[in-house]
Amino acid sequence: MTSPIVVIVITAAMALTVPSVNGQTELRPILPNSLLNYANPPLPAHFSLNGIRNADTTPNDNPTSDAGATLGRVLFYDKMLSQDNSTSCASCHAQSRGFSDQDRLSTGFSGGLTARHSMGLSNARYYEPNRFFWDERAASLEEQVLQPIQDAVEMGETLNNVVEKLSATDYYPPLFERAFGSRDINSQRIANSLAQFIRAMVSYRSKYDQGVAINFSNFTAQEEQGRQLFNSRQTNCRSCHNTDLQLMDQARNNGLDAANADNGVGNGRFKSPSLRNVSVRAPFMHDGRFSSLEQVVDFYNSGIQDNPNLDNRLSRNGQPIRMGLDAEERAALVAFLGTLTDNEFLSDSAFSDPFQLVESELPNTGELSRPLAIAAILALLLSEDSSN
C-alpha cells in the first residue's frame, strides 16, 4: 500500500519538521522560571559573629536582591562585555576553581596576559576595608566590576558599547526591569547587578562550616592537627587569615621576596582573598608563583624572606620566623586547608553559566509547516486507502 508518492511526501514532511536543518542557533541565557534565592542564603550561625558581620561590604544603596543578582549572573557569563565578544568575567573566574583561574596569569580578549594572577571570589563580600584587587586599588565592588570591562588587556570594551549591545537584545531589557523597575540599561545598573552577584557568592557549606557548631568533631585527626597548627602562635596563620572565613583585615607583607618586585598596596603589602575554597585555586599568591598548597606551606615554614616591610606576625627579633614544622605537620596544614572546600558552592547551579545554544527565535518555516505536512500525509494515506 505504500506508493512512491507517499514515501516522497513523508520524506519531504520530515525534512520540513526538523527545524535545525536550516534553523539558526544562538547563545541565550536560560533561567529558571522562578527567581533563585541570592538575597538570603541560610547562613550558619557563625556568619552573624562580629568579625564576619562587620566585614560585610554590602552598601545600603545596593542591597542584594534575587532579581539583581540574577541579572548579574547573566552579565558575569556574557562575552558581549568584551570588545570582540570573546571573553566574559567567567573566562578568568571559573566557578569550579572558586572563581579563579588555573593559569598563573590570565589571557585577555586579544591574547594579552594580565599583570597579576586572577583572584578567587568566594566570600569577596566580606573584606572589611572594602577595597578590591590584590593592591586594593578599587574602592568598592561597584567600582571594581566596571574596570575589567574597560581594561585594555582583559576585555577592552567601552561602557557605551556594552550598553548598546545589551540594549539590542530582547532578553536584557526585561532582566533590567525586574531588577531595577524599568528597562533602562546604564553602567550604574550594570555595576550594581554585577556587584550583587559577586556578593551573593557566599560559600558557607564547607566541611569547616559544618564543623564550627560541633567543635570540629567531623574532622579527621590530621585535619584537626592542621586546624590547631593554623590557629597556633607557632604559625600565626590565623592572626592574618582571621575569623571562620579566614579573612584578612588589611593588606600585609608576608615576605615572599627580600625586595618587592611588585609593590602592591605599598611596601609589598597585598590583600589575600578569603581562604574558602583555596584548595581548588592553584596557583597561589598575587603572581601565582606557587603551584601547590604544599609549596605555600613550605614557603611559610622555612622560606619567608627578610623583607624590610615584613609584617611582624611573621618576624621575630627583626628576622623572618622559621616555623620548624615537620613533614607530618606540614601535611596536616594542607589537609586543614582542604576542609575549607565547599563542593556545593563550586557546583551550585545558581552560580553557573546560564547561556545555552538554542534555536534562534526567528520565524522558522520548518516549525510553521509541521501541521500542514502532517495534514498532507494523512490526506494522502486516506486517499490511498479509499482508492484500493
Given candidates 281, 335, 346, 354, which one binds ligand HEC under the rule CB under 6 A? 281
Among all chains, which residue has been given the C-alpha cell 588555573? 102
125 binds ligand HEC (CB under 6 A): no
| Tally of CB atoms within 10 A around 366 | 17
Q: Supply the minimum distance, in Å, between the C-beta of residue 11 and ligand HEC.
A: 48
If we measure between CA atoms, which residue out of 369, 366, 293 comes closest to residue 334?
Answer: 293
Ranges within 176-205 binding ligand HEC (CB under 6 A): 194, 198
Within 8 A by CB and 6+ apart from 207, the residues are 218, 219, 223, 339, 340, 341
User: For ligand HEC, how many residues bind (rule: CB under 6 A)?
Assistant: 54
Q: Supply the minimum distance, in Å, between the C-beta of residue 256 and ligand HEC.
A: 6
118 binds ligand HEC (CB under 6 A): yes
Q: Supply the minimum distance, in Å, between the C-beta of residue 116 and ligand HEC.
A: 4
Q: In angstroms, how far is the first alpha carbon of the chain from the final one?
A: 8
70 binds ligand HEC (CB under 6 A): no
285 binds ligand HEC (CB under 6 A): yes
Given candidates 121, 175, 245, 265, which one binds ligand HEC under the rule CB under 6 A? 121
> Could you give the CA distance from residue 320 to residue 301 in angstroms, rounded to a whole number?
10
71 binds ligand HEC (CB under 6 A): no
> Could you give the CA distance from residue 75 to residue 354 in angstroms, rounded to a whole number?
10
If we measure between CA atoms, which residue out of 158, 176, 183, 196 comes closest to residue 81?
Answer: 158
Nearer to ligand HEC, 185 or 297 (CB): 297
Task: Label residue 300 exposed, middle or buried (CB < 10 Å: 0-12, 13-18, 19+).
Answer: buried
| Tally of CB atoms within 10 A around 131 | 20
Which segment (11-19, 89-97, 216-224, 358-366) binds ligand HEC by CB under 6 A?
Answer: 89-97
> Could you give the CA distance from residue 90 to residue 231 in angstroms, rounded to a whole number?
33
State the DSSP string of 71-123.
HHHHHHT-GGGSTTS---GGGTSBGGGTTB-SSSS-B-TTSPBPSS-----TT
243 binds ligand HEC (CB under 6 A): no
Given candidates 273, 320, 338, 354, which one binds ligand HEC under the rule CB under 6 A? 273
Q: What are phi and psi of 177, to 5 degrees?
A: -65, -45
Q: Supply the minimum distance, in Å, between the C-beta of residue 376 and ligand HEC.
A: 52
Given candidates 16, 38, 55, 154, which one binds ligand HEC under the rule CB under 6 A? 154
Among all chains, which residue has been given the C-alpha cell 628576622? 319
Ranges within 252-271 binding ligand HEC (CB under 6 A): 252, 254, 256, 270
> Could you give the CA distance from residue 84 to residue 166 in angstroms, rounded to a whole number?
14
Nearer to ligand HEC, 296 or 373 (CB): 296
286 binds ligand HEC (CB under 6 A): yes
Site string for ligand HEC, 307-326 (x = CB under 6 A): ----x-xx------------
Which segment (49-57, 237-245, 347-355, 367-375) binds ligand HEC by CB under 6 A?
Answer: 237-245
Q: For helices 172-180 and 66-76, give the axis angle rounded to 10 degrees.
A: 150
Which residues lie near ligand HEC (CB under 6 A)? 76, 81, 87, 89, 91-93, 106, 108, 114-116, 118-121, 124, 132-135, 144-145, 148-149, 154-155, 194, 198, 235-237, 239-241, 252, 254, 256, 270, 272-273, 275, 278, 281, 284-286, 296-297, 300, 311, 313-314, 333
